């Protein structure tokens, strides 16, 4: 049963005074007229309604199967996380970024130097020059072979050398592209001993593992870049709750015990159960959430799936003698030139509560479409009914 607050006590006291003064005027010797109401009816005057703060509304159909409270972490989608390494390794010539710095796609993260960079460029230019000569020889020998001037064996030898050089040039072009050098722009005058390590995505720097003068190998992680536009939730559920979640369900979650609520939508459910009898559920986060970063701990509330049930605001339901009731608007009337409103007290059965609404089971024949229930001030009505007894009019 709901406990009385000081404000409620004041309202009830005022209502009782109002009821006690509800006698009809007349001579002192005249007998007072009283009106006895059924046990399930309570009547209030217009000024009493205002004092009690009565508001009415409709019974709603809602999905109130309850909620699941789960824990998880903020994770980043694979396309939103980049690990940056050097394809051929080298010594770090310059690096000025710190964790937390924002970067854009293609921005230089560090400069590396290596003798191998020079060798690859040299080999490419040498092979390219040889290919030009071999291509000319191939074309010349082809024409001479057509005129029966050269033998087929000589043509085959020239063709083999030409194709071998062509393959070598193509392979060196790919090596140059791998270390970030455009072979189209490379010539004898711009051979460089250094290359730029660039960011493959836009985001912020999560990890920096380099310093000037350090040698990094191809297997070393130099930087980690995170794009916070592709964050999602990785939630852990018990196997017994597997039938309560599905793709498309909405999630409310909170970060680091903050009071600000964030929203997410389940996009993928686990297909296997772990050894500890849990499984994973993944949810996307639309838009951006302030202060949300990968690795953060989250508390989430999943709205479990269910069919819709009849429900009312939790404060519309009052308890008395271990039973639950709602008040339904009965009628407006006028007595002695004053407006009155009657409410009927109806017993209900409570179910689950979620989001401020409670499932209720109504008596047979209850008209959901036209009924107006008291959604605010219900306890004031109950108190008035309990304390007023027979109300004088």
> For 215-266, how does the pLDDT look when each residue is reduced to its tens digit (9 = 90+)?
999 999 999 999 888 788 999 998 877 777 888 888 888 887 777 888 889 9
Determine the longest span between alpha carbons in the chain, in angstroms.
Answer: 149
pLDDT at position 25: 43
CATH number of the 6-64+308-392 domain: 2.40.420.20
CA distance 302 to 321: 35
Tell me the pLDDT tens digit for each residue of 163-186. 999 999 999 999 999 999 999 999
pLDDT at position 3: 44
Between the alpha carbon of residue 23 and those of residues 331, 335, 392, the distances in Å are 21, 12, 5
pTM listed for this prediction: 0.55
- Closest C-alpha among 297, 97, 299 to residue 204: 97
- Closest C-alpha among 64, 68, 71, 63 to residue 244: 68
End-to-end CA distance of the chain: 30
Bridge partners (DSSP) of residue 326 are 346
Q: Where are the domains of the chain?
A: 6-64+308-392, 67-79+227-303, 115-192
Residues in the chain where the model's pLDDT stays below 70:
1-37, 64-66, 147-150, 304-307, 388-393
Between the alpha carbon of residue 159 and those of residues 109, 135, 140, 151, 220, the distances in Å are 44, 9, 11, 13, 42
- CATH 2.40.30.170 fits domain 67-79+227-303: yes
CA distance 249 to 235: 13
pLDDT at position 52: 82
């Amino acid at each position: 049963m709901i406990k009385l607050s000081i404000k409620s006590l004041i309202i009830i006291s005022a209502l009782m005074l109002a009821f006690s003064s509800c006698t009809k005027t007349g001579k002192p010797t005249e007998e007072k007229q009283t009106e006895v109401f059924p046990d399930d009816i309570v009547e209030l005057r217009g000024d009493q309604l205002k004092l009690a703060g009565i508001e009415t509304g409709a019974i709603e159909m809602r999905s109130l199967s309850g909620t699941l409270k789960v824990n998880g972490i903020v994770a980043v989608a694979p396309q939103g996380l980049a690990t940056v390494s050097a394809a051929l390794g080298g010594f770090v010539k310059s690096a000025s970024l710190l964790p937390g710095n924002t970067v854009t796609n293609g921005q230089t993260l560090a400069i590396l130097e290596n003798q191998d960079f020079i060798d690859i460029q040299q080999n490419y230019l040498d092979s390219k020059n040889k290919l030009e000569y071999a291509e000319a020889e191939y074309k010349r020998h082809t024409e001479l072979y057509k005129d029966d001037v050269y033998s087929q064996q000589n043509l085959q030898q020239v063709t083999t050398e030409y194709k071998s050089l062509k393959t070598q040039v193509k392979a060196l072009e790919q090596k140059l592209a791998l270390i970030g050098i455009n072979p189209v722009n490379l010539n004898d005058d711009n051979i460089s001993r250094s290359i730029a390590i660039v960011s493959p995505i836009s985001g912020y720097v999560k990890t920096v593992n380099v310093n000037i003068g350090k040698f990094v190998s191809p297997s070393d992680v130099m930087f980690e870049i995170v794009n916070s536009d592709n964050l999602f939730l990785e939630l852990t559920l018990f196997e017994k709750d597997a039938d309560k979640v599905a793709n498309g369900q909405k999630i409310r979650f909170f970060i680091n015990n903050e009071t600000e609520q964030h929203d997410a939508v389940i996009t993928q459910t686990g297909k296997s159960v772990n050894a500890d009898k849990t499984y994973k559920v993944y949810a996307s986060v639309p838009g951006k959430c302030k202060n949300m970063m990968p690795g953060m701990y989250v508390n989430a509330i999943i709205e479990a799936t269910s069919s819709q049930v009849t429900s009312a605001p939790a404060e519309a339901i009052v308890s008395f003698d271990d039973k639950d009731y709602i008040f339904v608007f009965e009628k407006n009337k006028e007595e002695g030139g004053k407006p009155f409103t009657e409410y009927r007290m109806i017993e209900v059965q409570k179910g689950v509560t979620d989001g401020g609404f409670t499932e209720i089971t109504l008596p047979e024949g209850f008209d959901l479409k036209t009924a107006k229930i008291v959604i605010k001030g219900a306890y004031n009505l109950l108190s008035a009914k309990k304390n007023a007894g027979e109300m004088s009019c």
